[in-house]
C-alpha cells in the first residue's frame, strides 16, 4: 500500500528579511496576508528536522489523546547552529522558483533554465525591475555575485530566525508557559491551535495535530523504532523522567511550507525617486519598502549517502 505524503503550512514560520547587500551599478514588518508573489521548493534533511521534535503520552492510542495529555518537546540539543555552508541540513539558499517567477525568459525570448530560476537570481530580477523598470537590467549590477549571495543568506536567516523562535519554547527555553524541570521542559497545549492569537508557536503540537488529522495510520505502532526514541542518551537529554518518547512520524517527501518576504537593503541607492508608477498609470509603488514574498516548500528528504 502506497503512503501519501503530507504538506504542512506553519504560520509561525512566516518571516520577513532584508538584504544585507545593496545593488551597485557602475558610475525583517508584518507579512501580507495575500498569496505569496512566487512559489519555491528546496530539500532539507528529514533526519535533522525529525530530531528537533519529540512527544510523550501514556496512551496507547495516540489518536484518542486529549491535547492536555501530551508533552510537546523541542530538543535544544538537536539544533544545528547558524545556517552556514552547503552541507548544513537546513541550508535553503538554493531554493528553486517553481511558479510565478519575475520572468521565465531571457531577453532573447528563450526559456530560463533551472540554474537561472533559483530564488537568488529571481529576486535580483525583481530588484532590477524596481531600480530600472525592467527585469533584464541585472547586468548593470557590478556586484551580482555578492547580491545573489545576500539573497541566499537572507533565506537562511529567515529559517534561522524560525529556529531561534523555537528555542524559546525548547527543552532549555525560558518561556513562562513551559512545564517541567530545567533542561527538560515541554509545552502542553499552550500556543497551539487558536491560542496565542493564531501565532501557533507550539510547533511540535501544530505538526503532531496535523499528522494525527491527516495520516493517523502513521501512529499505528508506537513501538516502531522510526517513532519511538530508542537512543538512551537522546531520551535522557530530552527528559529522563518519562518512560517513553516518540518522534513525529514524518516520511521522505513530506513538506513544510513557510513564507519568506525579502526587502531591498536599507542602504540601497535608488538612482532617482524611491517610488515607481506602474503601467496602469495609477499605482505608485514605494520601492524602499517593496518586498517580494516566496512560499517555500521545504521538502523533507533522506540524505543520499
Please state the domain count of the chain: 1
- 268, burial (CB in 10 Å: exposed 0-12, middle 13-18, buried 19+): buried
Q: What is the rounded distance in angstroms from the CA atom of residue 33 to the CA atom of residue 155?
A: 19
Q: Each residue of 139-181: pLDDT tens digit? A: 888 888 999 999 999 999 999 999 998 999 999 999 999 999 9
Q: Provide the strand spans (E) within 140-283.
A: 255-263, 275-277
User: Is 36 a domain residue?
Assistant: yes
User: Is 231 a domain residue?
Assistant: yes
Q: What is the rounded distance in angstroms from the CA atom of residue 78 to the CA atom of residue 37?
A: 33
User: Is 134 a domain residue?
Assistant: yes
The candidate with the shortest Cα–Cα distance to 232, out of 240, 223, 241, is 240
The candidate with the shortest Cα–Cα distance to 260, out of 16, 30, 92, is 16
User: Is 1 a domain residue?
Assistant: no
User: Is 127 a domain residue?
Assistant: yes
Q: Each residue of 12-49: pLDDT tens digit? A: 778 777 766 555 444 333 433 337 999 999 999 999 99
Are residues 63 and 219 in contact, defined by beta-carbon separation less than 8 angstroms? yes
Report residue 229 as a C-alpha cell: 526514541
Q: What is the rounded distance in angstroms from the CA atom of residue 201 to the CA atom of residue 178?
A: 12
CB atoms within 10 A of CB 50: 19
pLDDT averaged over 10-residue windows placed end to end, the chain, 305 residues: 79 74 45 69 97 87 63 96 93 96 92 94 92 87 91 94 92 94 93 71 89 86 86 98 95 94 86 79 82 94 80
Q: What is the rounded distance in angstroms from the CA atom of residue 141 to the CA atom of residue 136?
A: 11
User: Is 271 a domain residue?
Assistant: yes
Q: Grid cell 539558499 — which residue?
A: 93
Are residues 169 and 224 in contact, defined by beta-carbon separation less than 8 angstroms? no
Residue 32 DSSP code: P
User: Is 2 a domain residue?
Assistant: no
Instruction: Decide: pTM greater than 0.85.
Output: yes
103 bridge partner residues: none
- Torsion region of 235: left, alpha or beta (phi above 0 gives left; psi -120 to 50 gives alpha): alpha
The range of the structural domain enclosing residue 29 comes to 7-301
Report residue 58 as a C-alpha cell: 501514556
The candidate with the shortest Cα–Cα distance to 89, out of 44, 143, 30, 152, is 44
User: Is 92 a domain residue?
Assistant: yes
Amino acid at each position: 500500500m502506497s503512503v501519501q505524503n503530507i504538506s504542512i503550512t506553519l504560520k509561525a514560520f512566516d518571516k520577513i528579511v532584508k538584504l544585507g547587500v545593496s545593488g551597485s551599478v557602475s558610475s525583517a514588518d508584518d507579512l501580507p496576508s495575500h498569496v505569496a508573489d512566487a512559489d519555491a521548493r528546496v530539500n532539507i534533511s528529514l533526519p535533522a528536522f525529525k530530531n528537533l521534535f519529540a512527544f510523550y503520552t501514556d496512551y496507547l492510542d495516540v489518536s484518542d489523546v486529549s491535547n492536555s495529555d501530551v508533552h510537546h518537546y523541542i530538543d535544544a540539543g538537536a539544533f544545528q547552529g547558524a545556517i552556514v555552508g552547503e552541507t548544513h541540513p537546513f541550508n535553503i539558499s538554493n531554493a528553486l522558483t517553481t511558479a510565478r517567477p519575475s520572468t521565465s525568459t531571457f531577453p532573447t525570448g528563450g526559456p530560463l533554465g533551472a540554474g537561472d530560476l533559483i530564488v537568488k537570481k529571481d529576486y535580483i530580477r525583481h530588484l532590477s525591475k524596481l531600480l530600472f523598470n525592467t527585469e533584464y537590467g541585472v547586468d548593470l549590477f557590478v556586484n551580482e555575485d555578492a547580491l545573489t549571495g545576500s539573497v541566499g543568506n537572507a533565506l537562511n536567516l529567515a529559517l534561522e530566525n524560525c529556529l531561534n523562535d523555537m528555542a524559546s519554547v525548547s527543552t532549555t527555553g525560558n518561556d513562562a508557559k513551559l512545564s517541567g524541570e530545567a533542561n527538560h521542559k515541554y509545552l502542553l497545549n499552550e500556543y497551539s491551535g487558536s491560542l496565542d492569537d493564531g501565532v501557533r508557536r507550539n510547533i511540535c503540537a501544530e505538526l503532531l495535530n496535523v499528522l494525527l488529522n491527516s495520516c493517523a495510520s502513521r501512529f499505528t505502532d508506537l513501538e516502531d523504532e522510526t517513532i519511538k526514541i530508542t537512543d538512551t542518551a537522546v531520551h535522557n537529554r530530552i527528559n529522563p523522567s518519562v518512560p517513553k518518547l516518540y518522534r513525529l512520524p514524518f516520511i521522505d517527501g513530506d513538506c513544510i511550507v513557510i513564507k519568506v518576504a525579502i526587502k531591498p537593503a536599507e542602504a540601497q541607492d535608488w538612482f532617482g525617486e524611491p517610488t515607481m508608477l506602474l503601467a496602469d498609470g495609477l499605482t505608485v509603488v514605494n520601492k524602499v519598502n517593496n518586498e517580494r514574498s516566496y512560499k517555500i516548500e521545504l521538502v523533507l528528504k533522506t540524505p543520499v549517502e
